[in-house]
Amino acid sequence: MVTQAVPEAAGSKPLITASMFGNTTTCLNRAREALEKQGYEVLVFHATGTGGKTMESLIASGYITASFDITTTELADEVCGGVFSAGPDRLLAASSAGIPTLLVPGCVDMCNFWGIDTVPEKYRGRNLCQWNPNVTLMRTNVEENEVMGRMIGRAANEARGPVTVLLPLMGVSMLDSPANMYWDPQADAACFNAIKAGLKPGIPVIELDCNINDPQFADRAVELLLGMM
């Protein structure tokens, strides 16, 4: 289905792709509602490797108006060897397509494995969370966040169209918030600083003193994307 041409339809709404994960659902739902009220159709892709690859393929096909990429967690699986990697070129389709793009380091605090027994031995001493019997999360560290930050910065630098980076200073996921198990300001800062360090002059970086799932973050994200469009 993904490889087929999208038929022309009279009065069809412009399409926006959006990335989502369980830990960014609150943000995405609020943002999607706001974008739909503005007359857009939002195609939501779960960041499970296959979802990211499908989204990138659809963007590359040329039918997408803008990219609302707020859940870039598949980068963590690429860096750490998790099961939800979408490959090293994740984020780059929108850059090449030249469509307005909002980039957020959403859920980069977690890498995914299957059941707890599948976690590689070298990670057994890390901060692990059994999300359910079939999915185990691992908190990413400073070094891994630096790598992901450079990957996000590369996507912004290669963008042929308008691009903005939006950073949630109070956590990149539901678990990465004060008093929750993945709250690690040092690791988050490593990602944020790596993004900013390599950006070309003129690429906007907006920092908000809130969590990615706070209402004000979703509202600002929508405002920025609409502004670029």
Question: Residue 158 belongs to a domain with what CATH number?
Answer: 3.40.50.12030
Residue 3: inside a domain: no
Would you say residue 10 has pLDDT above 70?
no
| Cα separation, 109 vs 188, whole angstroms | 8
Residue 153: inside a domain: yes
Residue 116: inside a domain: no
> For the chain, how many structural domains are there in total?
1
| Cα separation, 210 vs 104, whole angstroms | 13
Predicted model pTM: 0.94
Residues 6+ apart with CB under 8 A from 63: 6, 15
Domain of residue 158 covers 15-110+141-228
pLDDT in tens, 153-209: 999 999 999 999 999 999 999 999 999 999 999 999 999 999 999 899 999 999 999
Instruction: Collect contacts of 57-63 with beta carbons under 8 A, ≥24 apart.
Output: 57/2, 57/3, 57/93, 58/2, 58/17, 59/17, 59/93, 59/94, 59/97, 59/99, 60/93, 60/96, 60/97, 61/6, 62/97, 63/6, 63/15
Burial environment of residue 228 by CB neighbours within 10 A (0 to 12, 13 to 18, 19 or more): middle
Token pair for residue 133?
A: 């019997």
Residue 216: inside a domain: yes
Residue 148: inside a domain: yes
- pLDDT tier, 6 (very low <50, low <70, confident <90, very high otherwise): low
Residue 119: inside a domain: no
pLDDT in tens, 63-120: 999 999 999 999 999 999 999 999 999 999 999 999 999 999 999 999 999 999 999 9
Strands 205-208 and 163-168: parallel
Residue 221: inside a domain: yes
Q: What is the pLDDT of residue 91?
A: 98
Residue 88: inside a domain: yes
CA distances from 124 to 65, 70, 120 (A): 43, 29, 7
Q: What is the pLDDT of residue 12?
A: 82
Compute the average pLDDT of residues 5-13. Answer: 65
